Amino acid sequence: MNKEYIHIILADDDEDDRLFFTDAFSELKMSTKVQTFKDGVELLDYLNAKDSILPQLLFLDLNMPKKNGMQCLQEIKANPRFSNIAIAIYSTSSTEEHIDETFLQGANIYIKKPNDFKVLKKILADVVTINWQYHTSGLNKDNFLLRYSG
Amino acid sequence: MKMWNFKKPSFHLILIFVASAALIFFLMGLAYKQLEKLSHNTSYVNRSYEVSLTLERIYTHVKDVEILQRQYILTRDAGIKADIDLTIADIEAGFKKLQVETTGNPEQKQNGEVLYGYIQEHYMIVDKALHTDFGKDDPDELKHNLLAGKNVMANVRAQITEMLAIENGLLKKRKNEFHITQQSTPLFLYLISLLALGLLAFAFHRIFTDFREQESVNSRLQIVLNASNLAEIVGGFGVWILNLESKTYQFSDNQYRLLGYQPQEFRASLDFFLKHVHPEDQDDIKEKVQLLTEQSDPSPSVFRVYKKDGSLRYFQTTGAIVKLKSGEKVFLGITADITHEIDSTLMLEEQNRTLEANNQELVAFNYVASHDLQEPLRKIETFITRLKEKDGTNLTESGKMFLEKMHSSAGRMRTLIDDLLLFSRTTRAEKVFESTDLDSVMHHAQEELQQMIEEKKAVISFVKLPVLEVIPFQIQQLFINILSNSLKYCKADVPAFIGIKYEVVNSRDEAWLPKNNLTYHKFIFSDNGIGFEQQYADKIFDVFNRLHSREDYAGTGIGLAVCKKIVENHKGYIFASSKPLCGAVFTVYLPDKH
């Protein structure tokens, strides 16, 4: 890490979810810089731009207009430039199909959006502090879906 | 050439007939011979009589001559000489007759010659006597003459007597023979007739028996034919027969009716039948008939037909080659009117499609509704938690209480939506069966319930579970729901205990299972919770059915309904049994795929 801050990006079309996300991080008081985008096109435009600071951690909502999370995931994984970005799927659904597909496409972790703000903060804190190099090397589907109580 | 079949009744009959005819001819021959013999005997007897008669006559005539000779000697009447000549002529005639009559008997013929010799001697003496004037020369000459004459007469008499004796003997013999033959002939004829009659009776019996049998076979055939005709009418099928050699067709009565014609209304032919076949199917059917008659493809084929009145029907035809006793090969085809089945099938398919579509709509609706309801609910819950966290302390007591109520209501709604989603997913999902290690599924389930397990200080014991072909995530849900149910309804003061047992059983031995003699995997979940009344054992599996109020126990009433659905997806069974305060036992049966 050559920067003190951990760059985090969220792509989610829901305004409230984006609010929860940024508020959670601001309350967590971790050294993070959070950016949000409201659809896949905006996200990829940013990532593909020459001077953009690439995030270490990307949270992807699956259900977005114009370009949904699955498509973004595929595009990002296809580009070697983005190979250092850890991708967390951040979605309302936790259907078997979505979990399987995103796992296959190379996402690092799957998070079902919690219904409790406190829990959200805990999740985000945990995810950010995971040492992704170790985590990804030992990844199996059992660990893919983040389990939490509440 | 075929070998004679010695068992064939017709051969028997011919044999008997030929034997009878031969026998009768033989017997006729014998009878003829017998009658011939009889007539021979009669003529022999007659002949003997005639010979005797002739001999007697001859003797009489000779004696006459002798007397006449003496009369002449005495009277020297010329008239007497004439008589003597006449009588001699009679003797000669008699001898001629005798010669003829003794032709068949050489001995007698010989005797006859001897007799003739004597008589010739007698002639000489008589002749001498006629031409000698006795008394003139020698008075003894007359005496000599008379003596000689007497000697010859004695000889003649002796000879004739002998001949008569012989004839008598012959006569006796022949009479005997005649008698025997006469006696035996009627008996013989009687026996022959009896035998002939016997044969006739036997032949008649055979013919009659055959005839009877033929009649009975005919009447059975008649019945069978009638039954077959009726069967055709009832079954809605017709029979067509193709003689493979002469290439001629025969249609059964109902085959005509199937097409809307009267029986035998037209001459049976393939062309006429094809005229009624739907234009698009005509080539197929021509080919099919070809294949069928060559036996290369006996599978039935369906085609469309227009009846005489123009209505459209669906026919199905198939058949087989049959070899008759006479060696002829015919093709026996069956054509059935399956319009009804096709219509039913089409109707069913239509209904199914409608039902399927409806079902899909409902399931989609259920899913979408549940899914789309989640979003706003999640927001509500999250904002409530934020409010609690940030401004909870700033609220008034009533404010805090209101907030709390809102939070718990939202939570209930969440549970309900989750369960509904789960329920719809259980129906909706692709039913993909995989070989799954149920041990690891159980472990996962317990991981999911980890918090609740810790809360209730629950102890779960289980045996090693098998590897089965199941829908993995559904079975996991099944275990989760049953376990969470047991955990939820545990007794307040007692640590929850859940025992899980497993065994393989046969449906014969299980009271609750249908007696289909199949193998099942039996899982028994028993807990020490509050239990329920057995009368509700079926109802608890109904959707939204609850046995307790919301205040006592939280719950949506969907959990066990989901369990039932999952078990049904696997073609298995689930049963519950319990007594209040004595815990509950849930038994799951999953069929063995083999």
Chain A residues in contact with chain B using a Cβ-Cβ cutoff of 8 Å: 14, 16, 20, 23, 92-93, 95-96, 113-120, 147, 149
- Residue A139 pLDDT: 60
pLDDT tens for chain B, 594 residues: list them.
444 444 566 777 788 778 878 887 887 888 888 888 888 878 877 888 888 888 888 888 888 888 888 888 788 888 888 888 888 888 888 888 888 888 878 888 888 888 888 888 888 887 887 777 766 666 677 777 778 878 888 888 888 888 888 888 887 887 787 788 778 778 877 887 888 788 788 878 888 888 899 899 999 999 998 898 888 888 888 888 888 888 888 888 888 888 888 888 888 888 888 888 888 888 888 888 777 777 766 778 888 888 888 888 888 888 888 888 878 888 888 888 888 888 899 899 999 999 988 888 887 787 777 778 888 899 999 999 999 988 888 989 999 999 999 998 998 888 888 888 778 777 766 678 889 999 999 998 998 898 888 888 889 998 899 999 998 888 999 999 999 999 989 888 888 899 999 999 998 888 888 888 889 999 999 999 998 899 999 889 988 878 887 777 777 788 899 999 999 989 999 999 999 989 999 999 999 876
Mean per-residue pLDDT, A126-135 = 73
In angstroms, the CA B220 to CA B198 distance is 33
d(CA B470, CA B436): 6
Q: Number of CB pairs < 8 Å for A and B?
A: 40
- Residue B444: closest C-alpha in chain A: A142
Single out the residue of B332, B311, B302 nearest to residue B320, CA to CA: B332
Interface touch A16/B379, C-beta < 8 Å: yes
Burial per residue of B344-380, b for 16 or more beta-carbon CB atoms within 10 angstroms, e otherwise: eeeeeeeeeeeeeeeeeeeeeebbeebbebbeebbbb
**Closest-CA distance of chain A to residue B289, Å:** 53
Q: Where are the alpha helices (DSSP H) in A49-116?
A: 69-78, 96-105
Among A95, A113, A117, the residue with its CB nearest the CB of B385 is A117
d(CA B3, CA B586): 78
Banded model confidence at residue A26, pLDDT cuts 50, 70, 90: very high
- The two three-digit tokens of residue A137, written as one number: 């090397």
Nearest to A115 among B371, B378, B473 (CB): B378
Separate counts of helices (H) and strands (E) for chain B = 13, 12
User: Are the C-beta atoms of B516 and B478 separated by less than 8 Å?
Assistant: no
Q: How many CA atoms lie within 13 A of B254 on its CB side?
A: 20
- Is residue A141 within 8 Å of A103, Cβ to Cβ? yes
Would the CB atoms of B382 and A14 count as touching at under 8 Å? no
The per-residue pLDDT for range B562-582, each reduced to its tens digit, is 999 999 989 999 999 999 989
Cβ separation B374–A92 shorter than 8 A:
yes
Among chain A residues, CA nearest to B452? A149
Would the CB atoms of B385 and A113 count as touching at under 8 Å?
no
Q: Give A-chain residues touching B378 at CB under 8 angstroms.
A: 92, 113, 115
Q: Which of B378, B388, B406 should we substitute to test contact with A (largest number of A Cβ atoms within 10 Å)?
A: B378
> How does strand A86-91 pair with strand A57-60?
parallel
Q: Specify the pLDDT at position A136.
A: 56
pLDDT at B3: 47
With beta carbons less than 8 A apart as the criterion, state whether B456 and B495 touch. yes
Identify the closest residue of chain A to B447 by CA–CA distance.
A147
Closest partner CB to A118 (pick from B385, B425, B447): B385
| Beta-bridge mates of residue A34 | A8
Strand duo B584-591 + B573-578: pairing: antiparallel
CB nearest to A116's CB, from B374, B382, B447: B382
CA B435 to chain centre: 51
| Per-residue pLDDT tens over the stretch B419-441 | 887 787 777 666 788 899 999 99
Q: What pLDDT, on the 0 to 100 scale, is given for residue B185? A: 75
- Tokens describing residue B384: 């409530």
Q: How far is A26 from chain B (nearest CA, A)?
A: 13
Contact B55, B102 (CB under 8 A): no
Cβ <8 Å between B425 and A120: no
Interface residues from chain B to A (CB-CB < 8 Å): 371, 374-375, 377-379, 381-383, 385-386, 389, 410, 414, 425, 429, 447-448, 450-451, 473
Question: Residue B414 and residue A23: Cβ atoms within 8 Å?
Answer: no
Contacts of A150 (CB under 8 A, 6+ apart): A114, A116, A118, A119
C-alpha B63/C-alpha B480 separation (Å) is: 162
DSSP helix, strand, coil percent of chain A (3-state; round to 5): 45, 20, 35
Residue pair A73/A95 in contact by the 8 Å Cβ criterion: no
> Which of B370, B379, B382, B383 would you mutate first to test chain A, the one with the most A CBs within 10 A?
B382
CB neighbour list of residue B176: distance below 8 Å, 6 or more residues apart: none
Query: CA of A20 to nearest chain B CA: how many angstroms apart?
Result: 8
The answer to whether the beta carbons of residues A93 and A145 sit under 8 Å apart is no
The neighbour count for residue A19, using CB atoms within 10 Å, is: 16
Q: A149–B450: do the CB atoms touch at under 8 Å?
A: yes
- Which chain B positions have a beta carbon within 8 Å of A16's beta carbon? 379, 382-383
Q: Cβ–Cβ of A115/B414 closer than 8 Å?
A: yes
- Residue A16: name the closest of B380, B408, B417 by CA: B380
The answer to whether the CB atoms of A115 and B381 lie below 8 A apart is yes
For residue B276, how many C-alpha atoms fall within 13 Å in the half-sphere facing its CB? 21
Cβ A109 vs Cβ A88: under 8 Å: yes
d(C-alpha B84, C-alpha B93), whole Å: 14
Chain A: nearest CA to B358, how far in angstroms?
A: 24
Say whether A59 sits in a helix, a strand or coil. strand
SS3 B21: helix
Min distance B357 CA to chain A CA atoms (Å): 23
Q: How is residue B29 written in tokens?
A: 């021959």
Adjacency order of strands within the sheet including B248-251: B248-251, B237-243, B329-337, B312-323, B301-306
The Cα–Cα gap between B118 and B151 comes to 10
Over residues A92-103, the mean pLDDT reads: 85
